[in-house]
Structure 1
Amino acid sequence: MSMFIRVKRKKTTYFLHCDPSETVLEIKQKLQALSENHVDDQRLILIANKLVLEDHKTLADQKVENDAIVAMTLKIRETGDWEEVVIDKPGEHPKPDTDAS
């Protein structure tokens, strides 16, 4: 049975068609093709329960369901730490003032 997941990072959302039997590593490989971020530099977190998804486990093993929202964070090269989860929502940033008066 196929499903979709939404992978979000900052202002970007990737809609991935996948299967519950796919491993997280396979999902990261799909993301690498789209975002050019190497699989070793990606960390995926299931937003619903803040679970860091493990590469060798399947989506089904980790209770990732259809239309789940997954955050992608990247490794900070200088420190080796991971970015904080940042997902910008529409309307969060004020629009620039366009009044010319």
Structure 2
Amino acid sequence: MSVAGREDYVRVKRRNQTFFIHTSPSDTFAQIKSEIAQAMGGSHVITPQHMRLYIATPTPTAAKDYDDDVLSDKSTHKGPIPDTATLSEHDVKNDAVLYVTFAKAWENGVDLPVSDNDDEWEEIEVVKP
């Protein structure tokens, strides 16, 4: 069953988790982050401000050994993506893979505003099954 007007979806990966989020091309990355927060139990668990989203971009190679399920040495990422950007602006299609990272302070149970300094954010990490 799909949500009216939202037949596409993206996969959002973090560590050993994958979130399937119903989307439409006009959705913003802020909306995607809100959906992730809801899937994790609501904004009292984690707020969208404590998340960053990235898009995987395969690095060209002679052989097609890129696995879009895992961001690896064979790929790079665009990001963090601004909250106001839409999926269509970044050419995010149905079944695309995005990556989410959380603020390190949130991981430690601190719910304070986070700077854009990369040291304040966890690295992209996805565990391959």
Is 1:70 equivalent to 2:75 in the alignment?
Answer: no
1:48-74: CA deviations, max 9, x gaps?
Answer: 251112100111011111111111100
Q: Percent identity?
A: 30
RMSD after superposition:
1.8
- Quick one: distance in 1 between partners of 2:37 and 2:23? 15
Residue of structure 2 equivalent to 1:55: 83
How far did 1:2 drift? 3.2
Return the TM-score normalized by structure 1: 0.81
Letter matched to residue 10 of structure 1? R
Question: What CA distance in whole angstroms lies between the structure 2 residues aligned with 1:37 and 1:71?
Answer: 16
**How many residues align structurally?**
90
Q: Does 1:41 align with 2:68?
A: no
1:2–1:17 contact (8 Å) kept in structure 2: yes
2:101 partner amino acid? T
Runs of 4+ in 1 over 3 A off after TM superposition: none
- The aligned amino acid for 1:18 is T
Q: Residue 71 of structure 2 corresponds to which residue in structure 1?
A: none
Higher gyration radius (CA): 1
Structure 1: 5+ residue stretches without partners: 91-101
Secondary structure at the counterpart of residue 61 of structure 1? helix
3-state SS, counterpart of residue 25 of structure 1 = helix
- Whether the 8 Å CA contact 1:31–1:37 is kept in 2: the answer is no
For structure 2, list consecutive stretches of 5 or more residues without a partner in the other structure.
Answer: 1-5, 58-75, 109-113
The CA distance in 1 between the partners of 2:31 and 2:95, in whole Å, is 17
**Aligned equivalents of 1:86, 1:21: Cα separation in 2:** 28
